[in-house]
Chains A and B, each alone.
Chain A
Amino acid sequence: MMASSQANSRVNSQLTSPVNGPVRAVHSPAGRGLGLGRLFTSHPIAVRVLSLGLFFLIWEIAGRIPISYAFPTFLETLYAFSSLLLDGSLIAAYGSTLQPLVIGVAISGIVGVGLGIVMGLSRKAEWLVAPLFIVLQSAPMAALIPLITFVYGIGLMAKTLAVIMLALPVIVLNGYKAIRNANPSLVAMCRSFQGTRLQQITKVIIPDASPVIFAGLRLGLAAGFIGVILAELLITPTGIGDLITYHRSVANYAEMYAAVVSIILVSTLTLAALEAFEVRVLRPEKKRG
């Protein structure tokens, strides 16, 4: 019974499909919805601006309801942001936040990519180092930050270390997986044209692995931002962490939000810059669709 009705419906759909075909064909190329879709695909920046605009609009509405006494509107936050920028406190804050961040990310980047490449190329190095980083990556780093203060105090060293602890594992593990998964066919190609081991590594394996290595660097950079903010909130309030803590303590919620938004902004822009650098320098083919 079931089978026969299924068979019937299949016959029916087969019968109707020639009718549906042209109808759909009339709609699709000239359809209004698709026209809008085409606008979006041809102007990706417009879409991003629109998406951000919508988000800010919802934020503004949510702030005006208001959903909480401590939740400022978008415009208030924007105002607070520009006043923080103008009185120089934001710039001063970044001056001290960026120190451990830049040092920590630079060390993590260089050591992490280097270690990742070595681990990817050598099984011995993999056995020696990989377990440590796998454990580190899954450990809740925030819980280890008090431990750092215990050993290294509350200075730049401790904060840099916090950044490294968060940024390094993901960079190392991505780098190592990228190298290990480099296209074996390309390596064989290089070998067949008598490429030396060094040429194999520099001309084939590393360029082939670079997208994943860079994905690791981007994740590491993002983790580095988390690390520096955690350190500034948990160790001693300095820089942007101080700005957040201070304005929270005096109930300047708009300023507090402005500081939080500014760190998101800086982090996003840095990540975008890193991506642009990667495409420009290492993978030129991605520039073209």
Chain B
Amino acid sequence: MTESTAPVHAVPRTEGDSAVEVRSICKYYGDIEALRLIDLDFPRGKLTTLLGPSGCGKTTLLKIIAGLVEPTSGDVRVNGKAVTGPGPERAFVFQDFALMPWATVMRNVAFGLELKGMGKAERQSIARHYIAEVGLTGFEDKYPHELSGGMRQRVGLARAFAVNAEVLLLDEPFSAVDEQNRRKFQEDLLQLVEKERKTFIFVTHSIEEAVYVSDRIVLLSRRPSRVAQIIEPKIDRTASPDAIRRDQGYLDTVEEIWQGLKHYVD
């Protein structure tokens, strides 16, 4: 560990209440210890990023929060209630989009509502709203293979918004999106975070992306993964995207995280 590594929970919890609490989570895959005693709070209405070296178990932690993966020990609470599986207060955005290739954009976005048994007219009007929100109006009747990678992930995002969950879990949502689209998408995401007032938990391996979009960055160490550091970038989000990317605070935070992570990279 470098000297810059702060103790766990160095950031005082002044943000108000937590939407998601993670308590002493451990996860073993066979003999491999993926996560070791993770304790974390995710403040409500903020975007928290899980960042760490590849293979460090960020996605595993996110899937445990989603209820898609069982922890070996420990528990996750959402609004104080223990998680036993997927629930309506959480929605997941998948790294590989997980869109049904046989369904139109409209049906894909409305799928979460369809599973809940909502009527067609009602769910389509909700879906139409979120399709517009992610900027895909006019593509309702297209099939996923007719869209670019960035547009496909917008569908995934709209689907997660449509079920009106309080907590959105995004698993490396931009990693399969090309660089230019990713930048645009990051900018749009910031606006959506502002507009939707939801709690976002975001997994990425891109330091720049983490600093650009996050209110709070949780650095995880290499396997077995532990919380190495928590950073709150002090960046003026009201500035234009280009100003943010040139902001000294932004650049310093990127550098600080890189210094912290560098020794994990071979």
Contacts and interface: CB of A to CB of B under 8 A. Distances in A.
A194 B102 contact: no
B68 A194 contact: no
B235 to A, nearest CB: 31
B102 A207 contact: yes
Given A188-B94, A288-B146, A193 B101 contact: no
A244 B101 CA distance: 46
Contacts of A188: 68, 92, 94, 98
A192 B92 contact: yes
A288 to B, nearest CB: 7
A199 interface: yes
Given A199-B115, A207-B102, A191 B86 contact: yes
B115 A288 contact: no
A54 interface: no
A43 B102 CA distance: 26
B26 interface: no
Contacts of A190: 115
Contacts of A210: 102
A193 B102 contact: no
Interface in A249-289: 282-285, 288
Interface in A15-55: none
A142 to B, nearest CB: 38
Contact of A207 (B91, B100, B145): B100
A183 B87 CA distance: 22
Interface in B65-79: 66-68
B218 interface: no
Interface string B93-120: 0101010111100000001101110000
Contact of B98 (A186, A194, A195): A186
Given A199-B115, A285-B145, A194 B87 contact: yes
Range for the number of chain B residues in contact with chain A: 20 to 34
Contact of A208 (B96, B100, B111, B112): B100
A189 B115 CA distance: 11
A193 B163 contact: yes
A204 interface: yes
Contacts of B94: 185, 188-189
Nearest to A284: B102
A189 B101 CA distance: 13
B143 interface: yes
Nearest to A200: B115
A195 B92 contact: no
A64 interface: no
A10 interface: no
Nearest to B143: A285
Nearest to A283: B102
Interface in A200-224: 203-204, 207-208, 210
Contacts of A189: 92, 94, 98, 111
Contacts of A194: 86-88, 115-116
A195 B101 contact: no
Interface in B151-185: 163
Contact of A193 (B86, B103, B144, B145): B86
A282 B102 CA distance: 8
A217 to B, nearest CB: 17
A285 B88 contact: no
Interface string A157-191: 00000000000000000000000000101101111
B115 A195 contact: yes
Contacts of B100: 186, 204, 207-208
A196 to B, nearest CB: 8
B98 A185 contact: yes
Contacts of A193: 86, 91, 111-112, 115-116, 163
B146 A192 contact: no
A200 to B, nearest CB: 9
Given A191-B86, A194-B86, A288-B143, A203 B115 contact: yes
Nearest to B86: A192
A208 B100 CA distance: 8
Contacts of B90: 192
Contacts of A185: 94, 96, 98
B81 to A, nearest CB: 15
A189 B94 CA distance: 8
A285 B163 CA distance: 25
A204 B102 CA distance: 10
A191 B97 CA distance: 14
5 contacts: A189-B111, A194-B116, A208-B102, A285-B145, A288-B146
Given A188-B98, A199-B115, A283-B101, 18 more contacts: A185-B94, A186-B98, A188-B94, A189-B98, A190-B115, A191-B86, A192-B86, A193-B86, A193-B112, A193-B116, A195-B115, A203-B115, A207-B102, A208-B100, A208-B102, A284-B102, A288-B143, A288-B146
